[in-house]
Amino acid sequence: MGTAPPSSDDLRVVPANEATWDDLQAILTGAAGVCQCERQRLGDHDWWHLPVTERASILRSEVHCGDPRASETIGIVGYLDDEPVAWCAVDRRGVYGRLRGSPVPWKERAEDKDDPTVWAIACMIVRKGYRGRGLTYPLVAAAAEYARDHGAAAVEGYPMLTGGTQVIWDEMNVGAVGPFLAAGFSEASHPTKRRVVMRLEF
């Protein structure tokens, strides 16, 4: 009898500084490898003109991979057994330049963009070959826990409504609504037809 493949229940999540740089890069392939998870932080204008090598250099300086004693990092890494399979960017909402310039988080909301107690789950990536296993469910829950443990009063996500249609993974880096609901988030606003602001208060 064969052994069942690992499921989302088996996902082990660590702060990115407890992962290796090679593990993180194994996850960030395709469009994610081009982005290096810097578009959300830098904003479209600053990000667009940087070569991939510079984006990667900035990310490496922020995640502190391989330095478990680092005081902070900017995301979490998920493993199935010892294989790196998922990444989630989670940090103070105000550091994300692209969010600051987008109408999605702010439409019809009286929010202080500089409030350091509100965190955001800005991006999540599941490595090709491991998708479709529900890994974003434990990933969102772990990201929320990480934010709470580092002083967040609330954490937000900005997932996409798929309406049952097929959506390519490059679009779904913001996540789907289901994992946020499962982690205890509730809808704070519905700023566009396809995007929802989900929020969890601590």
**Residue 180 Cα distances to 126, 188, 193, 195, angstroms:** 16, 12, 18, 13
Residue 51 C-alpha from the chain's centroid: 22
At the topology level of CATH, where does 8-201 sit?
Aminopeptidase (3.40.630)
Helices (DSSP H) in 5-150: which residue ranges?
21-27, 31-35, 39-42, 44-48, 52-63, 97-101, 136-149
Task: Dihedral sign for Cα 190, 196, 197, 200, please.
Answer: positive
pLDDT of residue 5: 58
CA 63 – CA 21 distance, rounded (Å) = 9
Strand (E) positions, 105-179?
Answer: 118-126, 154-157
For the chain, which residues score pLDDT lower than 50?
Answer: 1
- The answer to whether the beta carbons of residues 37 and 21 sit under 8 Å apart is no
Helix (H) or strand (E) holding 86: strand 83-92
Domain locations in the chain as residue ranges: 8-201
Distance from C-alpha of 162 to C-alpha of 155, rounded to nearest angstrom: 22
Structure-token match 């800005």, residue found: 122
pTM across the whole model:
0.92
Beta sheet of 75-80, edge-to-edge order: 12-15, 75-80, 83-92, 118-126, 154-157, 197-201, 186-189
Q: Cα separations (Å) of 97 from 15, 101, 158, 172?
A: 22, 6, 15, 19
